[in-house]
Amino acid sequence: MRTAQKRTGRAPKVAVAAAALILPATLTACGGAAASGTESPNTLTVQDYLDPSRDPLYQACAKEVGVTLVISHVAGPGLIRKVLQQSSSRTLPDVLMLDNPDVQQIAESGALSPLSDYGIRGEGMLPAVVKAGTYAGKLYGLAPAVNTLSIFYNKEMFRAAGITTPPKTWDDLRANAKRLTTQDRYGFAMSTINTYEGTWQFLPFMWGNGGTEQDITTEETVQAVQFLVDLQNDGSMSKSSLIWSQDDVIDQFIAGKAAMVVNGPWQIPALQEQRDVQWGAFTIPTRLPTQTTVAPLGGEVYTVPRTADRAKMAKAGRFVQCLVSPEQQLQTAKVAQNVPTTPAVAEQAGRSNPALAPFVTTVQNARSRTALLGPDWPKAATKIYNAVQLALTGKAAPAEALRLAQGD
């Protein structure tokens, strides 16, 4: 999950889960009868919400498959609505990119064909990646590369504060954040905004501590919310986190107003442009040293919609198979600053790009947001960010905030 960049020429994906939540759970006029909208048997339509930087990767696979492409880049918030309209008008694209949490909704509607129809089963890929693209036991989408969350830190500020190693536990993180906080700088920053973005950033603290979206009132999740409240009460985390997006957070970091920030690898190009900022990254600490960091799995998957043209669907399947091949995974990782979805390829990417290494580590245990609740995930995500907002605004203690947000 990432938001549009203001500092680079890229226009990466914008979270679309909010749009998905307000739309109907089923599509109309699917049933495998939609048309792709192109007449030529050797032309495939590809639809995504990414910027044109991916187009050369698409063209490489088009050459391998022997087709020409018509590429459509849709604004992120409007993608799901457009897919619904295309399904109704029988004009679905041949290849459709989706944010991985949206696969459940679209697959449930019957608009997608199983990738197994084209011999694609996700062998060798991270299990969480395969699970993210699976609905009702069938694989509908795969990602060539994924992202997750870690913490960027200012090396110069760490040195000045006498901090020699990144924190490993919440206690370490809290102590370091206090030490790094000054009159004009916060020691720690993250987004706790009341959108899915806020939930996304909170998940590593909840999941890493054993909390679950199936019941957000457990002691493990209470502890995670309390940890953020403590950081805010210490003065180490700004109350503005309640309205900051992830891009706002990275802006604070670049401006020297925050020493540590939770964010994703898509920010690496913006950070690399900052000649005056010495930065590094480390995995998000856990409450106990015996726990493992568990962060959410982000990234886009490619699917083959059901259309009336079986021959073109087969070519679309070959195109998707090319996009998720090890060679294309590595190229996608370079373009998007994401982590390849095959472990061996991910390790190779981490070796060639040290800035990506903490994300490579975290991805090994990353979890799909829809893994437990499937299409019901957006409801849980809303409860989570509402609870965090209640607690950080002081309207309720963490346990009560979670109970009120759970609502049952």
pLDDT for the residue 189: 98
Residues 288 and 282 sit within 8 Å (Cβ to Cβ): no
User: Which of 235, 230, 147, 228 is closest to 190 using CA atoms?
Assistant: 228
Mean pLDDT for all residues in the chain: 91
Q: Tell me how far CA of residue 105 lies from CA of 33, 117, 322, 383, in angstroms.
A: 19, 20, 25, 19
- State how far the Cα of 385 lies from the Cα of 43, in Å rounded to an integer: 43
Judging by beta carbons within 10 Å of its beta carbon (0-12, 13-18, 19+), is residue 342 exposed, middle or buried? buried
The β-bridge relationship of strands 138-139 and 145-146 is unpaired
For residue 300, pLDDT over 80 is answered with: yes
For residue 79, pLDDT over 80 is answered with: yes
Residues 232 and 392 sit within 8 Å (Cβ to Cβ): yes
pLDDT for the residue 39: 63
User: Which of 265, 239, 271, 229 is closest to 253 using CA atoms?
Assistant: 271
- State how far the Cα of 329 lies from the Cα of 342, in Å rounded to an integer: 8
Q: Residue 279: which H helix or E strand, with range?
A: strand 279-282
* pLDDT (mean) for 250-274: 97
pLDDT (tens digit per residue) in 360-381: 999 999 999 999 999 899 999 9
User: Out of 24-38, 105-119, 155-169, which region has the weakest mean confidence (pLDDT)?
Assistant: 24-38
Side chain identity, residue 60: A
pLDDT for the residue 101: 93
The gap from C-alpha 222 to its chain's centroid, in whole angstroms, comes to 24
Q: Tell me how far CA of residue 48 lies from CA of 159, 168, 173, in angstroms.
A: 43, 38, 38
Instruction: Tell me 76's DSSP state.
Output: G
The architecture (CATH level 2) of 150-295+373-406 comes to: 3-Layer(aba) Sandwich (3.40)
User: Which of 3, 16, 196, 198 is closest to 105 using CA atoms?
Assistant: 16
pLDDT for the residue 87: 80
- State how far the Cα of 378 lies from the Cα of 85, in Å rounded to an integer: 21
pLDDT for the residue 408: 66
- State how far the Cα of 195 lies from the Cα of 265, in Å rounded to an integer: 20
Task: Pull the structure tokens for residue 82.
Answer: 């457009």
User: Out of 36-45, 88-97, 115-124, 259-268, which region has the weakest mean confidence (pLDDT)?
Assistant: 36-45
The architecture (CATH level 2) of 17-145+298-363 comes to: 3-Layer(aba) Sandwich (3.40)
pLDDT (tens digit per residue) in 209-255: 999 999 999 999 999 999 999 999 999 999 999 999 999 999 999 99
For residue 382, pLDDT over 70 is answered with: yes
Biggest CA–CA distance in the chain, Å, is 66
pLDDT for the residue 2: 57
Q: In the chain, where are the structural domains located?
A: 17-145+298-363, 150-295+373-406
The gap from C-alpha 211 to its chain's centroid, in whole angstroms, comes to 19
Instruction: Tell me 337's DSSP state.
Output: T
Is it true that 17-145+298-363 and 150-295+373-406 share their CATH fold?
yes
Task: Pull the structure tokens for residue 130.
Answer: 């395969």
pLDDT for the residue 23: 37
pLDDT (tens digit per residue) in 321-351: 999 999 999 999 999 999 999 999 999 999 9
pLDDT for the residue 30: 38
Q: Tell me how far CA of residue 403 lies from CA of 25, 140, 169, 222, in angstroms.
A: 27, 35, 26, 10
pTM: 0.88
Task: Pull the structure tokens for residue 382.
Answer: 């809303």
pLDDT for the residue 6: 36
